[in-house]
Amino acid sequence: MVDSNYMADSGLERAFAKVRALLEGDFEHPGLTLYDLQNLVGYNSRVKTDGPLSYTLPPEPELSGVAAVRLYYYPKDPEVTLIVEIEDKARKRHLRHFKWNGISWTAPHGLKSDLTATREVLPAIEEVGGDFFLGYAPEEAKELAEAIRRGEAAGTKYMLCTRDNTRIFYSPTSSPPTIPCPRCGNGNLIFKTLTLANPEDRIEALLREQRALRTALEDLLLYLKRKLGP
């Protein structure tokens, strides 16, 4: 199988060049300022928000090689003011972080800011039957979900959420995810390897989905209680 991560992606390169011109300016335009960014995302200082607020760049020829370019503004974050997200055609997201220093965009300490296409990407995430699949194309995720259900995927590695038992299967070509649980936001995930020898019961899959729904519901109730008072 060819890993598309390791092939040059000219569409991605062009999108990065476009974003670089947008942030740093070029012969025709000055670079984007914090004020410009606030206008783009519709930031209103009267609205108290911790962010992020986002803006999707409108389609244009230079961006035709990628799925989308989004700017995320974090008004309250002391370290990161702006995150640029470029989603490529394979639905992988490339992130770059910036801090506004009063004049220009600089690199926050230890975070990635260079505006060139690299091989480091956040893989796309697919949800199939209550499980999440990271770094798989939609069809691959569906096939793997089927194989798991039939008990034919022993040895497959995944992360398990300790809170709601959500499973996040990750592609063997990508490194283990450093993301929180996509369902509940819990950062405490443990490494597991699928060992099941018997086909997974549909009942079991349903129970897992039900557990996940219950957790979501409990969270919602807690949130409403906080909002509305006792």
Q: What are residue 224's phi and psi, to 5 degrees?
A: -65, -40
> Is the backbone peptide bond immediately before 123 cis, with ω within 30 degrees of 0?
no
Judge contact between 158 and 170, C-beta under 8 A.
Answer: yes
Residue from 88, 108, 164, 189 touching Zn ion (CB under 5 A): that is: 164
Among 166, 167, 168, 189, binds Zn ion (CB under 5 A): 166
151 or 182: CB nearest Zn ion: 182
Of 139, 136, 144, 156, which Cα lies nearest the Cα of 92?
136
DSSP H helices, the chain, are 10-24, 34-41, 138-150, 202-228
Smallest gap from Cβ 151 to Zn ion, in A, equals 24
Q: How far is the CB of 166 from Zn ion (least distance, A)?
A: 4
CB atoms within 10 A of CB 57: 19
- By the 8 A CB rule, do 124 and 93 touch? yes
The reply to whether 125 sits near Zn ion by the rule CB under 5 A is no
Among the residue ranges 97-105, 119-127, 132-140, 164-172, the one whose residues contact Zn ion (CB under 5 A): 164-172
Smallest separation, CB 83 to Zn ion (Å)? 23
The region of 10-18, 39-47, 134-142, 166-174 touching Zn ion under the rule CB under 5 A is: 166-174
Binding to Zn ion in span 188-227, by CB under 5 A:
none
CB of 164 to Zn ion, least distance (A): 4
Nearer to Zn ion, 87 or 126 (CB): 126
- The one-character DSSP state at 189 is E
Binding mask 172-191 for Zn ion (x = CB under 5 A): ---------x-xx-x-----
- Return the number of the residue (137 or 179) whose C-beta is nearest Zn ion: 179
Instruction: Report how many residues bind Zn ion under the rule CB under 5 A.
Output: 8
Cα 90 to Cα 229: distance, rounded to the nearest angstrom: 45
Is residue 131 within 8 A of residue 159, CB to CB? The reply is: no
Q: x/- site string to Zn ion, residues 143 to 162, per CB under 5 A?
A: ------------------x-
Buried b (16+ CB within 10 A) or exposed e, 162-190: ebbebbbbbbeebeebebebebeeeeebe
Q: Which of 163, 168, 169, 177 binds Zn ion (CB under 5 A)?
A: 163
- Interface with Zn ion (CB under 5 A): 161, 163-164, 166, 181, 183-184, 186
